[in-house]
């Protein structure tokens, strides 16, 4: 729907950094100075709710899943290898006694530690270069035993990962201990990743946890998950993921124009309705505001989006309560025609208008 782009609204767009050559209409092709405005009504609220639900379901479906119970060896991992009954191949002799294998895995019976090179190969005496990347511990042990069987009769090999270095996730933002964290044989889910990083700081916004995987970014609302009885531990992290917890101060909206107290407002757990934003700014100025022209300016991927609410319409406040704002939104209340006339006249005759008004008073 086309509405006139008022000078005041254009000023507000420029003030919030939303307007520019791509944001404001080209008057050479649009002489009327028209802008595409979306009316805030029930159909819009319903469409936005469906879109949010669709994005949430799609994102969770891509992130949730059963973890791989078996760790796969990768380049950079450190392996402990023991060949039974062949002490010349081991850094420490370990006999075939009950519990010996458990001691090896736990570290109390550690033998030679070997590094998987950048090509995923393991170098071992007699066996030469054996590819172990992408294999489980048992599969790698079998591959090594097969290579040794050319020189040894029925070799028995025990292999375990001593150092997990090939798979890592990066956690930053509003957490106590940001940094790189290795993925080990215990699959890493979202709560465990945050726990390893020391937890979310009081300045962190739990409603804006961003998971970057490849070229995709997923926005996770932890509080929404809890409210919908969705187990956050079903969201699994994989090698190369970047997890970032946003700051509360970044989740703000700006209210300007004909309101009692223009200000920047911090959202509550990532949420704020249009009605709440107007209320926390003292409401619309009853003398100078135009209730039919309440705008929400939002930065979009293809340029700014502008929504309009007619606050005079029946049920407008109920609609405003259901319209959810997003971080960095600008709420702008236009001045009335009378207020605009008064201001323009004051610019033409500074001081004279006030004197004339004062002279008419008894």
pLDDT in tens, 327-362: 899 999 999 888 777 777 777 666 554 555 555 455
316 and 263, same domain (yes or no): yes
Paired tokens of 29:
């092709």
227 and 277, same domain (yes or no): no
The total of other beta-carbon atoms located within 10 Å of residue 302's CB is: 6
Higher-pLDDT residue of 55 and 132 is 132
In a domain, 233, yes or no: yes
Which of 147-150's residues contact partners 24+ apart within 8 Å by CB, and which partners?
Answer: 148/83, 148/124, 150/126
Higher-pLDDT residue of 343 and 173 is 173
Q: Which one of 101, 133, 163 terminates a domain? A: 163
In a domain, 158, yes or no: yes
Nearest alpha carbon to residue 79 among 131, 128, 116: 116
State how far the Cα of 119 lies from the Cα of 178, in Å rounded to an integer. 29
Is the pLDDT assigned to residue 306 strictly greater than 50? yes
154 and 213, same domain (yes or no): no
Paired tokens of 72:
């796969």
Is the pLDDT assigned to residue 258 strictly greater than 90? yes
Q: Which one of 119, 140, 163 terminates a domain? A: 163
In a domain, 64, yes or no: no
329 and 263, same domain (yes or no): yes
Higher-pLDDT residue of 56 and 321 is 321
Average pLDDT for the chain: 80
Locate all alpha helices (DSSP H) within the chain, ordered by sequence. Answer: 7-15, 42-63, 100-106, 137-148, 190-196, 222-227, 274-280, 316-322, 337-348, 352-360
245 and 257, same domain (yes or no): no
Is the pLDDT assigned to residue 183 strictly greater than 60? yes
State how far the Cα of 188 lies from the Cα of 243, in Å rounded to an integer. 12
Paired tokens of 184:
């080990």
Per-residue pLDDT, 177: 96
41 and 83, same domain (yes or no): no
Per-residue pLDDT, 8: 54
175 and 209, same domain (yes or no): yes
157 and 185, same domain (yes or no): no
Average pLDDT over residues 297-314: 87
Q: Which domain holds residue 95?
A: 78-163
Per-residue pLDDT, 354: 53
Which of 201-204's residues contact partners 24+ apart within 8 Å by CB, and which partners?
Answer: 201/174, 201/175, 201/176, 201/245, 203/174, 203/247, 203/248, 203/249, 204/173, 204/174, 204/175, 204/245, 204/246, 204/247, 204/248
267 and 234, same domain (yes or no): no
Q: Which one of 229, 249, 269 terminates a domain? A: 249
Average pLDDT over residues 159-172: 93
Total of domains in the chain? 3
Average pLDDT over residues 269-280: 91
269 and 184, same domain (yes or no): no
In a domain, 243, yes or no: yes
Is the pLDDT assigned to residue 139 strictly greater than 80? yes
Average pLDDT over residues 249-270: 90
In a domain, 69, yes or no: no
In a domain, 50, yes or no: yes
State how far the Cα of 65 lies from the Cα of 289, in Å rounded to an integer. 52
In a domain, 179, yes or no: yes
157 and 108, same domain (yes or no): yes
Per-residue pLDDT, 222: 85
320 and 259, same domain (yes or no): yes
Is the pLDDT assigned to residue 278 strictly greater than 90? yes
Per-residue pLDDT, 51: 83
The domain that holds 147 is classified in CATH as 3.30.1950.10
Write down the pTM of the prediction: 0.66
The domain that holds 223 is classified in CATH as 3.10.560.10
In a domain, 19, yes or no: yes
């Amino acid at each position: 729907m086309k509405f006139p782009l008022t000078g005041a609204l254009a000023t507000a767009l420029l003030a919030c950094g939303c307007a520019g050559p791509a944001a404001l209409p080209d008057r050479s092709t649009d002489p009327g100075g028209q802008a595409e405005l979306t009316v805030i009504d029930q159909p819009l609220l319903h469409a936005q709710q469906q879109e949010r639900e669709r994005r949430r379901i799609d994102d969770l479906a891509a992130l949730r899943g059963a973890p791989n119970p078996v760790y796969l060896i990768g380049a950079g991992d450190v392996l402990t290898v023991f060949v039974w009954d062949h002490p010349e191949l081991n850094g420490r002799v370990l006999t075939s006694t009950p519990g010996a294998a458990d001691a090896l895995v736990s570290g109390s019976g550690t033998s030679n530690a070997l590094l998987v090179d950048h090509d995923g190969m393991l170098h071992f005496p007699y066996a030469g270069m054996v590819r172990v990347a992408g294999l489980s511990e048992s599969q790698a042990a079998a591959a090594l035993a097969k290579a040794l069987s050319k020189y040894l009769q029925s070799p028995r090999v025990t292999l375990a990962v001593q150092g997990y270095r090939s798979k890592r996730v990066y956690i930053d933002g509003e957490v106590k201990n940001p940094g790189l964290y290795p993925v080990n044989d215990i699959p890493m889910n979202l709560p465990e990743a945050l726990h390893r990083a020391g937890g979310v700081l009081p300045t962190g916004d739990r409603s804006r946890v961003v998971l970057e995987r490849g070229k995709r970014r997923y926005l996770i609302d932890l509080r929404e998950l809890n409210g919908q009885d969705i187990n956050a531990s079903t969201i699994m992290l994989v090698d190369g993921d970047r997890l970032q917890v946003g700051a509360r101060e970044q989740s703000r909206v700006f209210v300007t124009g004909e309101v009692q107290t223009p200000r920047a407002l911090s959202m509550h757990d990532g949420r704020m309705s249009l009605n709440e934003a107007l209320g926390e700014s003292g409401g619309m100025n009853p003398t100078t505001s135009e209730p039919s022209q309440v705008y929400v300016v939002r930065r979009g991927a293809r340029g700014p989006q502008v929504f309009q609410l007619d606050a005079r319409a029946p049920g407008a406040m109920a609609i405003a309560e259901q319209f959810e704002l997003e971080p960095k939104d600008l709420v702008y209340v236009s001045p009335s025609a009378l207020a605009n006339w008064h201001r323009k006249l004051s610019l033409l005759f500074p001081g004279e208008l006030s004197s004339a008004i004062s002279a008419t008073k008894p």
